[in-house]
Amino acid sequence: MSEKNSTYHIPVLRDACVEGLAINPDGVYVDVTFGGGGHSRAIFEKLSSKGTLYAVDQDKDALRNVWEAPNFHFIQSNFSFIQNQLKLRGVSQVDGILADLGVSSHQFDEGLRGFSIRNEGALDMRMNASANLNAADLLSNSDEEELTSIFRKYGEIKNARRLSYEIVKFRQSNPLKTTQELISFLGDFAPKFKENRYYAQVFQAIRIEVNQEIKALEDLLRQSENLIAPGGRLVVLSYHSLEDRLVKNFIKKGNLEGELEKDFFGNPLKSFTEINRKPIVPNEQEQAENTRSRSAKLRIGERND
């Protein structure tokens, strides 16, 4: 197995993720966010010839990082369909699922994809390049209320209503089509000395909506209850509070809303037991070497019997 395109993406908290899976060498594991393959390679190295790894990614660019092995299988798909994808391959239960919810370094650095505030490119932001809706479409067709909701919910933008009003007015004669056109437009609304943070928050909000990232995460978490065998592990890396809150609620409380339910005898109704009460975060060295890891939080749950 060769190290393909090692600059594609630096895997965040790689060792902690692999340790969190508590790998059985003969077990079946799924990396639902294959990307550059860094986490997958680390998992695969722990498996015997009887173990199996399924790697999932909706981005066709990730195909360049796959390798050939009888017990390695790549699935090009959104991970929200993971249960059906595995069922098609005769798999009903697995021993562990890993999800790294961050945008890959490759996607940020590939200017044409439109993810980065630093690179010129079309306002695209689709993880799956064949999906119908891109960022330019979203900004052109969403009404003021919809844009306000997106910016508030997914970007925590304080002046979301004013920004949305001005976008709707501006686009009538100047539709926003490129990343730098959007950055230039946002300049009048960004807080002084915090411009880049503001731009990043707006881009994040648009990207989350374009790719329906929160819905996909909710679908994945719900499916993990059925997919992961008793004693198996759910390992999730998140990068902003919306994602982390969902993962935390699901593992700690047994549902996405965070309301712990109990049975007639007072026993908690939840499928997982948290392995780490507080999220694991990268140390100072990793944060210095990989700045994109700074907001990462790792949570681990073990499937109850």
Domains in the chain and their CATH numbers? 14-105+213-303 (3.40.50.150), 117-211 (1.10.150.170)
Query: In this structure, are residues 2 and 62 in contact, taking their beta carbons and an 8 Å threshold?
Result: no
Residue 18 has pLDDT above 70, yes or no: yes
pLDDT band at 1 (very low <50, low <70, confident <90, very high): very low
* Burial profile 49-62: b = 16 or more Cβ within 10 angstroms, e = fewer: eebbbbbbbbbebb
The pLDDT of 260-288, averaged and rounded, is 94
pLDDT band at 8 (very low <50, low <70, confident <90, very high): low
pLDDT at 2: 42
Helix pair 179-186, 160-170: axis angle to 10 deg: 120
What is the residue-averaged pLDDT of the chain?
93
**For residue range 64-108, what is the model confidence (pLDDT) as tens digits?**
999 999 999 999 999 999 999 999 999 999 999 999 998 766 565
The pLDDT of 38-64, averaged and rounded, is 96
Instruction: Tell me what percent of the residues of the chain surpass a pLDDT of 70.
Output: 94
Q: What six digits make up the tokens of 25?
A: 């060498």
How many contiguous H segments (helices) and E segments (strands) does the chain have?
12, 7
Stretch among 21-25, 56-60, 73-77, 233-237 having the lowest mean pLDDT:
56-60
pLDDT at 52: 98
pLDDT band at 282 (very low <50, low <70, confident <90, very high): very high
* pTM over the 0.95 mark: no
Residue 110 has pLDDT above 70, yes or no: no
Residue 111 has pLDDT above 60, yes or no: no
Q: What six digits make up the tokens of 257?
A: 């809303």
pLDDT at 108: 59
pLDDT band at 185 (very low <50, low <70, confident <90, very high): very high
The pLDDT of 200-206, averaged and rounded, is 96
Residue 174 neighbours by CB under 8 Å, 6+ apart: none
Query: In this structure, are residues 124 and 134 in contact, taking their beta carbons and an 8 Å threshold?
Result: yes
**For residue range 121-167, what is the model confidence (pLDDT) as tens digits?**
999 999 998 899 999 999 999 999 999 999 999 999 999 999 999 99
Q: Edge-to-edge strand order for the sheet containing 94-100? A: 72-76, 52-57, 28-31, 94-100, 228-238, 297-303, 272-274
pLDDT at 3: 45
